[in-house]
Amino acid sequence: MGIGGNESFMLFSVIGITNLAGRFIFGAIGHHPLTDEVLLYICTFIISGAVTLAVPLLTQYGALLAYSATFGFFSASYGVLLPGMICEFLGASELASGLGAILPFCALGTMLGGPVAGFLYDSLHSYSWSFIVGGGVIVTSAISIIVPFWRKKHLKVVMGVTKNNPDNHHEIESNIIPTPMDNCEGDILDYEMEESDNLLKIDGHFVPTVVDV
């Protein structure tokens, strides 16, 4: 693209400055009670991947500056939102285990990213595919979280658990009557459940409980 060394250094500086600003901003947003950290994480990563996919279309230095600022800002969510996202899926007690499971894959991506990008350039004589593959991986990683995020969200709605009342599920579990299985015959137990007796109403939703036999 004919960009000189000083201009290239400026692009890296813009990424670093906006990334630092993004960490403070996303840290503040992520800790707000109304913020869903997982959804915010997904959106920021999709944006980061999408702008990276568009790099081969950028031909002006100003456009590259805009990309550097956008990528640096939105990619900052990774460092500040990841611990909260792990707690959302696994619970705070499993934060260390979750980080221990994720960080090796992060290290693997860091080690393989440069060699793979170099291999693509040597094979295709263009950096375009390096950005396309890199952006595609970022978008795919964000999309892969959508299904478990939706299932977790649906479960929390059914159980009446909110960010402001995360311990509500313990109250629900305490209202479930354990069923003695010693006196039960057959593999399938049929229960006739009445709303007034065997349905627990939580935030407008009826959740079935197991009745004593």
- Do 90 and 186 share a domain, yes or no? no
Exposed/middle/buried for residue 150 (C-beta within 10 Å: 0-12, 13-18, 19+): exposed
The verdict on residue 108 lying in a domain is yes
Shared-domain flag, residues 173 and 133 = no
The answer for residues whose C-beta is within 8 angstroms of residue 179's C-beta and 6 or more apart is: 189, 210, 211, 212, 213
* Its pTM surpasses 0.85: no
Q: Are residues 10 and 82 in the same domain?
A: yes
- Residue 77 predicted with pLDDT over 60: yes
Whether residue 204 sits in one domain with residue 120: no
Instruction: Find all residues with CB under 8 Å of 114, minimum gap 6, and list them.
Output: none
Q: Quick one: pLDDT at residue 76?
A: 92
CB 174 within 8 A of CB 180: no
How many separate domains does the chain show?
2
Which residue range(s) make up the domain with 85?
A: 5-143
Report residue 157 as tokens. Answer: 């709605």
Q: Is the pLDDT of residue 22 over 60?
A: yes
Mean pLDDT (the chain, rounded): 78
Q: How does pLDDT run across 65-76, given as a tens digit for each residue?
A: 999 999 999 999
pLDDT in tens, 25-49: 999 998 888 888 889 999 999 999 9
- Name the most confidently modeled range: 152-156, 157-161, 191-195: 152-156
